[in-house]
Amino acid sequence: MGKSFKTFLKHAGKDFFNQSVNPPVVRASTLIFKSLDDIRKTQNKSNKNPIGGHFTYGREGSSTTFALQQMLREIEESYHVFLTPTGFGSVFLAIISVVRPGNEILLSDPIYSPTRSLTENFLKEFNIKAIFYDPNNINDLKNKISKKTKLIFVENPGSNTFEFQDLSKIILLAKKNKIFTAMDNTWGTPYFIKPIKLGFDMSIVAATKYYSGHADVMGGSLAVNRRVFKYVAKVNKISGFRLGPDDAYLIIRGLRTLDIRLDKHQESAKKVATFLSKNKKVLEVLYPIKKNTQRFKMWNKYYSGASGLLGLKIKSKNKRSVIKFVNSLKLFGYGYSWGGFESLALYQDVREQGNRKFLNLQKDEHLVRLHIGLEDPKDLIQDLKRSLRFIK
């Protein structure tokens, strides 16, 4: 990258040809050439350098999407980055690129519920078996590896329950057994951790979240190393995945302030988490703030920072009172997704967690997810303080 992460985000992607600070939006389905020979020359360039941005048809991309790919390639420190229309599209592309009928996939138990549905239900129809391991027990993962294991899929931290795993040990196991690895890194982004540099084959980020930062874009990125590039490139071409140039432009614009926003999300989330950890009605704050916990140790070992998404474990015999706590919040919106400038709150029904194998949720324990946005944390804390009184 040469420059620091922060400086790079402010200077990458400038278009001196059009004298534009941000690359222009280039919309095209048909790409025109001066002659058939010109098309052939471009095709030859693409064959010689498949990551060089030599396009002959709009489905392959435009200068706008290529500018985003180049930015993400640098910050991921990867060989290449593929773009998809949604974050889950990148999950799908990563998995379907390397697994085939008869293979097994090992997945951390607290994965994103659509990822669970894809692997546990849909891929089962193609004779691909999903096996879930305990994210807090590396030996459980080790014991479930077989000759059929083709991919280890990690989501770190775990969706909604925020378990942090010992990533280097997972990579060592995978390399020893010649297994592909993928990590969903939407929570941390390459600003706080770089999975490819750490040793993963694939790194997934939902650009919908922090990359965009304004809750108005759908998109996903899949960074890859040289080892898996040819597999992903083949499937990507066949699948027809394409991120539109307008969305790519907005994601580039969002990336300019990724560092500033994440620093603020982290600062505010720590203040809110500290406040909540002292409240008797909150059994546990699912965020890396307590130094004597496994969560903090594994986060501290691999991450340079924490984002604004956290969970609460609340003990109450009255489920409705916990829901009332969430519903009474004034500064938190109610909705799926996160990563935007706004704070969000959701009551996480156990049924929405999917068929979890290692969900340590006892009777009368409830999960609430909070995204701490860019508002004044003092105001957010006061809002939470007023609403916590409803929990019985």
Phi/psi of residue 230, each to 5°?
Answer: -65, -35
- pLDDT bin (cut points 50, 70, 90) of residue 354 is confident
Looking at residue 9, its pLDDT comes to 87
Q: What is the DSSP letter of 20?
A: B
Looking at residue 350, its pLDDT comes to 75
Q: What is the mean pLDDT of the chain?
A: 95
CA atoms of 153 and 374, how far apart (whole Å): 31
Residue 71 reports pLDDT greater than 70: yes
285: left (phi > 0), else alpha (psi -120 to 50), else beta? Answer: beta
CA atoms of 283 and 311, how far apart (whole Å): 11
CA atoms of 351 and 53, how far apart (whole Å): 44
Looking at residue 19, its pLDDT comes to 74
Helix or strand run (H / E) with residue 319: helix 319-327
Token digits for 12? 């990458």
Looking at residue 157, its pLDDT comes to 98
For 33-56, what is the mean pLDDT?
91
Residue 351 reports pLDDT greater than 80: no
Looking at residue 20, its pLDDT comes to 77
Residue 16 reports pLDDT greater than 70: no
Q: Kindly compute the dihedral angle of the four CA atoms of residues 76, 77, 80, 83, in this order, to the nearest 10 degrees.
A: 10
Tell me the pairing of strands 309-315 and 365-371.
antiparallel
Domain 5-27+62-255 carries which CATH code?
3.40.640.10
pTM, rounded to two decimals: 0.94
pLDDT tens column, 90-128: 999 999 999 999 999 999 999 999 999 999 999 999 999
Looking at residue 11, its pLDDT comes to 84
Identify which of 149, 155, 164 has the alpha carbon closest to the alpha carbon of residue 113. Answer: 155
CA atoms of 372 and 380, how far apart (whole Å): 8
CATH topology of domain 258-388: Aspartate Aminotransferase, domain 1 (3.90.1150)
- pLDDT bin (cut points 50, 70, 90) of residue 14 is confident
CA atoms of 119 and 125, how far apart (whole Å): 10
pLDDT tens column, 292-301: 899 999 999 9
For 222-232, what is the mean pLDDT?
98
Token digits for 198? 């750490």
Helix 87-98 vs helix 226-239: crossing angle, to nearest 10: 110
102: left (phi > 0), else alpha (psi -120 to 50), else beta? Answer: left
Looking at residue 137, its pLDDT comes to 97
pLDDT tens column, 267-314: 999 999 999 999 999 999 999 999 989 999 999 999 999 999 999 999
Looking at residue 2, its pLDDT comes to 66
Helices (H) and strands (E) in the chain, counts: 15, 11
Q: What angle do CA 325, 217, 248 make, to 5 degrees?
A: 155
Looking at residue 1, its pLDDT comes to 63
Token digits for 233? 């490139």
pLDDT tens column, 127-167: 999 999 999 999 999 999 999 999 999 999 999 999 999 99
Contacts of 328 (CB under 8 A, 6+ apart): 386, 387, 390
Amino acid letter at 325?
F
For 42-65, what is the mean pLDDT?
90
Q: What are the domain boundaries of the chain?
A: 5-27+62-255, 258-388
Q: Which residue has the higher pLDDT, 375 or 28?
A: 375
